[in-house]
Amino acid sequence: MKVVVWLAEGTWQACVDAAAEVAPPSASITLLHVTDPALADDVSDAFAGLVGRGSRGPDPGAAISAAAARSEEAMLAAAAARLDRASSPVRRHGRLEREVVAAAEGADLLVVARDGPVTRLGPRSLNPPTRFVVDHAPCAVLLVWPTAPPAVDTIPPPPHKAAPPHKAAPPKKAPPPPH
Amino acid sequence: MSTVWAVLLLAVVLAFAVVRPRGLPEATAAVPAAAIAIGGGLVPWAAARDEMIMLGPTVGFLAAILALAHLADSWGVFAFAGGLAARASRGSPTRLLTVVFAIAAAVTAVLSLDATVVLLTPVVFATAAAAGVRARPQVYACTHLANAGSLLLPVANLTNLLAFGATGLTFLGFAGMMALPWLAVLAVEYAVFRWFFAGDLATPARPVPVEPAPAPRFALAVLALTLAGFAAAEPMGVAPAWIAAGGAVVLAVPLVVRAPRRARAAWAIVLETNPLFCFFVFALGVVVLALRQHGLDDLITALTPHSADLLGLLAVAGLAALLANLVNNVPATLVLVPVVAHSPGLVLAALIGVNVGPNLTYVGSLATLLWRRILHARDEPPATGAFLRLGAISVPACLLAAVVALWVALKLSTVL
């Protein structure tokens, strides 16, 4: 069995723990981290926008690339230590969602953490890249909560029963049927 | 015909500054272009000399503040700010964003926007990464606040320095007039960021214990004294450039004395003043003057409203933002400020436009963005569509809020 664990900032611990729990001892585990170069590129662009200053001095985008590479190594090392069994790290560069889907090719299971709001149950509580990965993964996906999941009553009410926003409490009697 | 030549010269100077073939300094094109403008009779020598004398204190200040910011970095001021942000955020991405807003606004106001973009942004990224927080909102907050946060003090942005003389205000008078627009812009940017990055900010982080770093007390004290010096010395006729240079020397001396190779350390600090950039600004001033004298002043005067009522302020700020996005904010300031110099209110509105406007493309101008897209054909398609959207949302709202705040400040003011 091939298990790919997508490690993302702030949520990777939950993925590692879930992988350790569900992957059989014979499984081969891949720890995947993706760096999106867009952030460093955009900082380089902001530097280039300081017209006239660019002839000399360090490009802050390059500093961010270097810092990103360092934090990637730290995260992969910490994840391998937390997993405490054989695993192989994979580093990819590019658009998060596309790289994760590509890395999951041929895998049996992809472990992904929810991100976005974690204080209520859906909808639209996944950040767009995670949503894309869940939608497009070419294998089974295990979607884990990074923290304890919120209670079931945090589901927003169905739209037609929602209280009007300007009223503090919903009316006792049923609202009149729509015309 | 002269107009065509003047337009051509400015176009070549700006295109070169953006493209920078083989990494050559911008002055490589700008200085010969200025020489051609003078030699070819587009600008009389006397006018060019007056322009350069007028730019002198501004360029001197810029050189000093660039060195001051780098020295502050050497003393660990930015690393200290990063540690402060990490501790104050207590593991919450939202609190980290709030603290980064405060630090970026303060660094921009005191040490100029260059310091925020070049020195603070990488520190903020490292802080976020170490705290297990997704760094996008905090990093983009730095790039946005470098421009939009530079309204408060005359020293925060080269554009402010270029326009400061035309406002007729004192250092503290300028800060007083711009405090309300500055706060309005910060509030709008903060609200837009909270909404735009809600997903990243809601993703939980695992708080990591942060070692409290000792505060670089000496450097912070020198910076505070330098800031107080700007306000105190200006009424006595001492240009802020001297104060900034004084602060830089005080920070530089212990570093040089301690360095194993003193001459080399001192030379490295002198290079931080970026002398080639100073030549670029002088030359750009002359080339823009050539264009102004051959039709541009008339054109801008025709487009610019003449009274500093709310509509007039809005129109000038909008025009300035547009111009800043076409040709970058420094040339836009050189073009606009002389035309509106008769009204301090309009000068301040123009500053709002040239400072806030560049965030529309976050690189400072559309021309810069397009050139970089063409020249730096990347392996990955750039994912920056989202950030053009961020600019499209925040810039009009910030401009409107800042101009209304300026209008209120002008109404309340007894200075203007």
8 Å CB contact between B59 and B244: no
Q: Which of A55, A70, A117 is the closest to B26 by Cβ?
A: A55
| Residue B166 region by backbone torsions, left for phi larger than 0, else alpha for psi between -120 and 50, else beta | alpha
**Chain B residues inside the 8 Å CB shell of A116:** 198-199, 202-203
A143 vs B413, which has greater pLDDT? A143
C-alpha span between B147 and B89 (Å, rounded): 24
In chain B, whose CA is at the least distance from the CA of A39?
A: B136
Lowest mean pLDDT among A70-84, A117-131, A153-167, B209-223: A153-167
User: Average pLDDT, stretch A67-71?
Assistant: 95
What's the pLDDT score for residue A166?
Answer: 56
For A112, phi then psi, to 5°, come to: -130, 140
A165 vs A69, which has greater pLDDT? A69
Res A54 pLDDT > 70: no
8 Å CB contact between A137 and A149: no
Q: For residue A9, what are the contacts with CB-CB under 8 A and spacing of at least 6? A: A75, B129, B132, B133, B134, B135, B203, B205
From B307, B306, B336, select the one nearest B322 (Cα to Cα). Answer: B336
In chain A, whose CA is at the least distance from the CA of B30?
A: A52
Q: How far is B387 from chain A (nearest CA, A)?
A: 9
What's the pLDDT score for residue A13?
Answer: 94
In chain A, whose CA is at the least distance from the CA of B284?
A: A52
In chain A, whose CA is at the least distance from the CA of B123?
A: A64
Q: How far is B91 from chain A (nearest CA, A)?
A: 10
pLDDT tens over chain B, length 416 residues: 788 888 999 999 988 888 888 878 888 899 999 999 999 888 899 999 999 998 998 899 989 999 999 999 999 999 999 999 999 998 899 999 999 999 999 999 999 999 999 999 999 999 999 888 999 999 999 999 999 999 999 999 999 999 998 898 989 999 999 999 999 999 999 999 999 999 999 998 877 777 777 899 999 999 999 999 988 888 788 888 899 999 999 999 999 999 899 999 999 888 888 888 889 999 999 999 999 888 888 888 888 888 889 999 999 999 999 999 988 899 999 999 999 999 999 999 999 999 999 999 888 888 788 877 777 665 555 555 778 899 999 999 999 999 999 999 999 987 66
User: Average pLDDT, stretch A96-112?
Assistant: 96
**Chain B residues inside the 8 Å CB shell of A50:** 113-114, 117-118, 364
Q: How far is B198 from chain A (nearest CA, A)?
A: 7
What domains lie within chain A, and their CATH numbers? 2-49+84-149 (3.40.50.620)
C-alpha span between B234 and B243 (Å, rounded): 9
Which pairing describes strands A28-35 and A88-93: parallel, antiparallel, or unpaired? parallel
Q: Which of B277, B368, B381 is the closest to A53 by Cβ?
A: B277
Query: Residue length, chain B?
Result: 416
C-alpha span between B226 and B233 (Å, rounded): 10
8 Å CB contact between B91 and B207: yes
Place of tokens 């541009």: B296
Res A124 pLDDT > 90: no
What tokens appear for B366 in the block?
Answer: 């559309």
Place of tokens 């090392």: A77
Reported confidence tier of residue A173, pLDDT bands at 50, 70, 90: low
8 Å CB contact between B337 and B350: yes
For A30, phi then psi, to 5°, come to: -110, 125
C-alpha span between A161 and B283 (Å, rounded): 67
pTM listed for this prediction: 0.91
Q: How far is B408 from chain A (nearest CA, A)?
A: 31
From A149, A120, A151, select the one nearest A18 (Cα to Cα). Answer: A149
Reported confidence tier of residue A56, pLDDT bands at 50, 70, 90: low
Q: In sequence order, what E strands does B225-322 have?
A: none
Res A172 pLDDT > 90: no
Average pLDDT for chain A: 87
What's the pLDDT score for residue A174?
Answer: 53
Number of CB pairs, chain A paired with chain B, less than 8 A apart:
167
